[in-house]
Structure 1
Amino acid sequence: MPLDPAISQMMKYMGQRPALNEHTLRHIRGLSEAGSRLLGQHAKPEPVGRVVDITIPAADGYKIPARCYYPEADMDVYPVLIYYHGGGFVLGSVQSHDHIARLFCKLARCAVVSVDYRLAPEHPFPAAVDDAYTSLLLVHRQASEHQWDPERIAIGGDSAGGNLAAVASILAASQQGPAIRYQLLYYPVTDMGGDYPSKQSAEHSPLLSTDDMAFFSRCYIGEQADPDDPRLSPIRYGHLEQLPPALVITAEYDPLRDEGEAFAERLKEAGVPTEAARYDGMIHGFITFPQLLPQGMQAIEQGANALVQAFRMDE
């Protein structure tokens, strides 16, 4: 179907975004933060029970910031979603995705741990992967201290964060780590070395162009990393049957569409219960604008409903 008319209106509201490779990283991050503030002015934050900021110690002594959200319902322990924000491994923060974390907390009636993993190029691959997996280990190990249920842990993210969620699931499976109840993946990066039609047709795609992807890739992996490494390309993992059930949501006008859908298909072929949903007329990043795009809210609600069902298993 054609690009949804609401996209054009939204882009007009936000203003023209310059090419990333034409500006300094500091300027790019400033523009990204300004966009988040603009979105915040348009949206009223969803109320939740409480919000607590914590730090997660990494192996090298770094303290990973994380923000924990709890629903208004009073429970002894809460099922928990660990969420990794998008931004090409270069942009984004717990603040830029605060509204998304709040929505999942309220709609799925679960705790949400939003992880502020280290960003490239200051911290290239595998720093973000290490932070993602370290966060998962801490949530499982310290569950009783934070009222999290160690038996009901889900993991999710959008774009680069979807990649980190899938990779953390792989590390948990391959290293006998915590059991993960569910993967919630929004237009994830799944194949760093793959060549897909959706990439070729998205040279000037709104919010994520082929030039943008090349910029993010240079910042994150440079020239040395192997794109066949499952920590970069989860679709290349040789034992996908070990992974937890998943919901993979893609957008029609997104260069990452085909690799996300290919990953969902590979999971299905491996026998993993997997639901795939493409939102026609939508672009990369559309769940970031639930107040402007009804489909963004619909996709978040679909993910929240999937979490509710996953957390109810075995009850």
Structure 2
Amino acid sequence: MPLDSQIAAVLQQFRDLPEPDFRHLEAADYRKFSDNLMPPISGAAMHEVRELRVRGAEGELDARLYRPLIQDNLPLLVFFHGGGFVMGNLDTHDNLCRALASQTCAAVVSVAYRLAPEAKFPAAPLDCYAATCWLVEHSRELGADGRRLALAGDSAGGNLALAVSYLAARWEGPNIRHQCLFYPVTDAACDTVSYADFAEGYFLTRAMMDWFWRQYLENAAQKDDPLASPLRAEDLTDLPPTTLISAEFDPLRDEGEAFAQRLHAAGVPVRVQRCDGMIHGFISMAPFVERAAEHLAQAAAELREALN
């Protein structure tokens, strides 16, 4: 299918921006540019939004709680933001977390894990796992029910949600009812057909992903670690039921869909949805892209059903 017309208009705005030189780009400089790329958007109203400090792997982390309803004992949805393991923060994904909280009727907690290259792999997945365990342990204090737990994340955040699920299954961690992955990173190879077809011109580029991996990993051998490349994990049988959303015009499309096929082969309930006409990052564009809002609503409905 052709690009969605509203997505095409967004892409045109991105094409007017200066292109970074990834050969010499410093992470701190790119963060300043990227984290302010999208203007702030007023999100869904919440009963409560609270700043938290939660346990990480090597110290406390910032987090943000969104409670859409006044009652306690809400389901708990832990969210991990995207940004190539290098960028993104609680504010860049505030609107998406508000939408998820509103549409799932769950208490959503967004976790600000440590970023690369200051904190290399496996800092981020270990932070996210430690934070999830802490949130379950303290769920009653947050007005949530840690026994009704789901995970969600976009792009690198989807990768981290998978890492948490993988560790929880092996370390007898929290029971996760469902995970919702928006165009997740699942393999460091960067060699699929979709990488070749959409290497440039569709927001996320091959050069950008190569740069992200260089910032994130200490060495090439870590590409085989299932916490970095979930697609390379030998055993996926213990992962939770999964909703996986891919985008037609996205370099990450094929690796995400390949991971969904691996889940299905392992007997894990999975629904994979390729969203025609969409690009990487489209879920965050739901406030001004109608079809993105529709796909977000469908994913949120699946989370809500799994948590109730």
> What's the TM-score once normalised by structure 1's chain length?
0.93
Q: Distance in 2 between matches of 1:24 and 1:198?
A: 27
Structure 1, 21-30 or 169-178: larger mean CA deviation: 21-30
- Across the two proteins, how many residue pairs are aligned to each other? 306
- State the partner residue of 1:24: 26
CA-based RMSD of the aligned residues comes to 1.5
- State the partner residue of 1:68: 65
> Residue 283 of structure 1: CA displacement?
0.6
1:196-207 correspondence to structure 2 within 5 Å: 196-207=192-203
CA change 1:20–1:107 in 2 (3 A) is: farther
Kept in 2, the 8 Å contact 1:205–1:255? The answer is no
1:166-315 correspondence to structure 2 within 5 Å: 166-193=162-189, 195-312=191-308
Structure 1 stretches of at least 4 aligned residues deviating more than 4 Å after TM superposition:
none
Kept in 1, the 8 Å contact 2:81–2:88? The answer is yes
CA change 1:226–1:26 in 2 (3 A) is: closer
Q: Distance in 2 between matches of 1:97 and 1:170?
A: 24
Asked if 1:55 corresponds to 2:53, the answer is yes
- State the partner residue of 1:12: 12
> Residue 20 of structure 1: CA displacement?
5.2
> Residue 246 of structure 1: CA displacement?
0.3
CA change 1:194–1:29 in 2 (3 A) is: closer
Kept in 2, the 8 Å contact 1:83–1:157? The answer is yes
Kept in 1, the 8 Å contact 2:76–2:108? The answer is yes
> Residue 34 of structure 1: CA displacement?
2.2
Flag structure 2 segments of 5+ consecutive residues without an equivalent: none
2:198 alignment partner, SS class:
coil
Q: Distance in 2 between matches of 1:298 and 1:4?
A: 13
Q: Which residue identity is paired with 1:246?
A: T
> Residue 106 of structure 1: CA displacement?
0.4
Give the alignment partner of residue 87 of structure 2, picking from 91, 94, 97. 91
Q: Distance in 2 between matches of 1:277 and 1:160?
A: 18
Flag structure 1 segments of 5+ consecutive residues without an equivalent: none
Kept in 2, the 8 Å contact 1:210–1:255? The answer is yes
- State the partner residue of 2:36: 34
Q: Which residue identity is paired with 1:70?
A: R
1:227 alignment partner, SS class:
helix
> Residue 85 of structure 1: CA displacement?
0.4
CA change 1:271–1:8 in 2 (3 A) is: same
CA change 1:262–1:59 in 2 (3 A) is: closer
Kept in 1, the 8 Å contact 2:190–2:206? The answer is no
Identity %: 40
CA change 1:20–1:69 in 2 (3 A) is: farther
Q: Distance in 2 between matches of 1:192 and 1:63?
A: 28
Kept in 2, the 8 Å contact 1:205–1:253? The answer is no
Q: Distance in 2 between matches of 1:12 and 1:256?
A: 21
